[in-house]
Amino acid sequence: MQNKQWLINGNPRGRALALTDFLEAQAALQTLRPNEARVQVEMLAFDPAMKGQLENVSGYASGNDVGNLMPGRGLGEVVESNDASLPVGSKVIGRLGWQEYATVTTQDVEVVPDDDLLSARLGPLGVTGLTAYFGLLRVGKPEPGDTLLVSGAAGAVGSVTGQLGKIMGCRTVGIAGGQAKCDWLVDEVGYDAAIDYKNDSVKARLKELAPQGINVFFDNVGGVALNDALGRIARHARVVICGGISRYEQETLPPGPTNYFNIVFRQATMEGFLLSGYEREHQQAIERLTDWIRGGQIKYKEDVQQGFENIPSTLLRLFSGKNFGKQLLRL
Amino acid sequence: MQNKQWLINGNPRGRALALTDFLEAQAALQTLRPNEARVQVEMLAFDPAMKGQLENVSGYASGNDVGNLMPGRGLGEVVESNDASLPVGSKVIGRLGWQEYATVTTQDVEVVPDDDLLSARLGPLGVTGLTAYFGLLRVGKPEPGDTLLVSGAAGAVGSVTGQLGKIMGCRTVGIAGGQAKCDWLVDEVGYDAAIDYKNDSVKARLKELAPQGINVFFDNVGGVALNDALGRIARHARVVICGGISRYEQETLPPGPTNYFNIVFRQATMEGFLLSGYEREHQQAIERLTDWIRGGQIKYKEDVQQGFENIPSTLLRLFSGKNFGKQLLRL
């Protein structure tokens, strides 16, 4: 039996990601060894950090070389197993890769209940939710009454971040591109206000919406939004640098924020966030996020594309702002 | 009797400080009111933040309007007094301003011993030393074995910072302009290494001197040095933004550091430092700094100019890198 895969075919450092960075291939499925299980991949999850991982930045990601299987988190069903803890028919989540069948051991995947929150475990109950949770709570340190600004607010991380901010008692302002996303943020997600960076002056709107200054800025975007936000930070503000999607596709790195020096005048902090290091607390965070989702305090949206052949183009959607909700693909 | 003063004559925001930003004036000395004392100003201290204060940046400094006396810390002797706690003949330090005689109350000044450390109380035992102490220890959080990089290392704050780093068990690397300053840093101050930004490639030297990366960067300069340092930070690095002298004189604010995003890859922190907020701990810090100076672990250098008429030009020395040691002026 054949296994279709997408292999890495280029390193996109210093340029936009392209469809030609991936190469379709086929490999015969091998006989399972002891303790291995075969997983039929049912759904893949996408996030902007995947481009950075492909760039093999030293100290951040490595081993993503041309010719290797494209890595990626997904969920699937065990269809063949040599390990009793991975029984046939069980649903698993983990780094399955861009392929139809993944060969895994218990170290690679986690068995999850086959319930209505299955795909949420690739989003608000997965890396996405944990990033929002630890990034906001541990680095942003929001307090009740704080004004929380989130860029990329309609993205998977940003929409959870805003809702966590409301749970913490913050006033929340989101920046997103286009009226539809902004309406969704205010009407469905529960942001107190939204700024449409495509049509509004971010600077003018921030002045209006954060008259006392921004206490916590959770940045997924970088660029102009970061600079404008730094221009309006409050004393002792916390700026969480979680992502910088405006930078990921540029050929030469754009300059940093001119207003960075405001962190001195405001005695503020700008801290980079990566999820690694919080492993021991994942379980507790996921239990809390589950309660909030079940209780309706956290809502989420999924953008589900279809088909093995569309995997690379689905990743590219993230960099053009096309996705609306957590980007997924069903095989 | 007349009191000669330098008044504020211009707001230097968005341009270099000029001699014409100050205007010489004379005012008749008034009769002292109850609880007031008259101080003859003997020495003034200068630091780069004085330009920022003149710019009346909102939330940082205000009230420094054209026509007002130019503020500034200094030391002097009480020559007339209506307050028993400020006896005639005692030495005091405080915000005396750019003038020959200051009228003060106990809230404005502190009586200090007339000993060999008198002028040090305008430097390593004053705001300068406290800035190095709290900026490095509380924001930089150095650990034994860390590599500490300091820009503006031959400046008043930078030279104390490097020595505090040695006391903490760090490997210290300083950046300064010119061979003389670099020699002084290594031979006298005790830095492990110095980089001459005027003649060396900072980037190449950092690669050589911080092969494991920079754990703490104490930045007084901004600009290229900040960007190069961010390019070499270690995991969990702390970047203390204490000053940005390369920016203070520019007409349009230069871009921020392109490499700021490295704080994400390295899970690092960039925090702005101002001295305000540590008041309750000043006394303890000064006791410790005094012990270290007496014990020879902290050495300092003073650059003492002379004469009332040279006060404005002495401040300007800081922005051309002319000063070598704490910039002072004896009236």
Interface A:B, Cβ pairs < 8 A: 112
| Residues in Cβ contact with B304 at an 8 Å cutoff, skipping those fewer than 6 apart | B43, B119, B328, B329, B330
Residue B253, sorted as left (phi over 0), alpha (psi -120 to 50) or beta, turns out to be beta
Give B242's contacts in chain A (Cβ within 8 Å). 264
Give how far A183 is from chain B: nearest CA, Å.
30
Give how far B253 is from chain A: nearest CA, Å.
6
| Residue A313 tokens, joined | 């183009």
**What Å distances lie between residue B201 and A256, A327, B194, CA to CA?**
21, 44, 12
**Helix B156-167 × helix B127-134 angle, to 10°:** 50
Q: What is the pTM of this model?
A: 0.90
Mutate to test the interface with A, among B207, B236, B263, B264 (most CBs of A within 10 A): B264
**What Å distances lie between residue B40 and A76, A116, B111, CA to CA?**
82, 80, 14
Q: What share of chain B is helix, strand, coil (3-state, %, to 5)?
A: 30, 30, 40
Nearest to B277 by CA among B178, B88, B131, B176: B131
A 251-270: CB under 8 A from B: 253-270
Nearest to A297 by CA among A180, A175, A117, A160: A160
CB atoms within 10 A of CB A156: 32
Nearest CA in chain B to A268: B272
Give how far A250 is from chain B: nearest CA, Å.
12
Q: Which residues of chain A have pLDDT under 70?
A: none
| Residues in Cβ contact with A208 at an 8 Å cutoff, skipping those fewer than 6 apart | none
CB-CB contact of A323 with A317 (8 Å)? yes
Q: How does strand A214-219 pair with strand A233-241?
A: parallel
Give how far B265 is from chain A: nearest CA, Å.
6
| Residue A21 tokens, joined | 């960075």
Give how far A185 is from chain B: nearest CA, Å.
26
Residue contact B276–A266, C-beta within 8 A: no
Q: Residue B17, SS3?
A: coil
pLDDT for A56 equals 82
Q: CATH 3.40.50.720 spans which residues of chain B?
A: 127-272
Matching residue, tokens 């296994």: A3
**What Å distances lie between residue A109 and A41, A89, A95, A96, CA to CA?**
12, 14, 7, 8
Helix (H) or strand (E) holding A50, with range, is helix A49-54
B 270-289: CB under 8 A from A: 270-274, 276-277
What distance lies between CA A205 and its chain's CA centroid?
26
CB-CB contact of B74 with B43 (8 Å)? yes
pLDDT for A329 equals 98
Residue contact B263–A244, C-beta within 8 A: no
pLDDT tens-digit series, residues A87-114: 999 999 999 999 999 999 999 999 999 9
pLDDT tens-digit series, residues A158-210: 999 999 999 999 999 999 999 999 999 999 999 999 999 999 999 999 999 99
From the number of C-beta atoms within 10 Å of its C-beta (0-12, 13-18, 19+), residue B10 rates as middle
| Residue B38 tokens, joined | 């008259």
pLDDT for A183 equals 97
Q: What share of chain A is helix, strand, coil (3-state, %, to 5)?
A: 30, 30, 40
Q: CATH 3.90.180.10 spans which residues of chain A?
A: 2-123+301-330
CB atoms within 10 A of CB A282: 16
Establish how many alpha carbons lie within 13 A of residue B252's alpha carbon, considering only the half-sphere containing its beta carbon.
1
pLDDT for B26 equals 95
Give the CATH class of B2-123+301-330. alpha beta
CB-CB contact of B259 with A256 (8 Å)? yes
Which residue among A255, A263, A274 sits closest to B264, beta carbon to beta carbon?
A274
Residue contact B222–A261, C-beta within 8 A: yes
Report how far residue A263's alpha carbon sits from residue B273's, in angstroms, rounded to the nearest whole number.
8
Per the prediction, chain B carries an average pLDDT of 94
pLDDT for A323 equals 87
CB-CB contact of A84 with A105 (8 Å)? no
Instruction: Tell me which CATH homologous superfamily contains domain B127-272.
Output: NAD(P)-binding Rossmann-like Domain (3.40.50.720)
User: DSSP of B132-176, one letter per residue?
Assistant: HHHIIIIII---TT-EEEEESTTSHHHHHHHHHHHHTT-EEEEEE
CB atoms within 10 A of CB B319: 16
Q: Which residues of chain B have pLDDT under 50?
A: none
CB-CB contact of B121 with B93 (8 Å)? yes
| Residue B228 tokens, joined | 């190069």
pLDDT for A62 equals 78
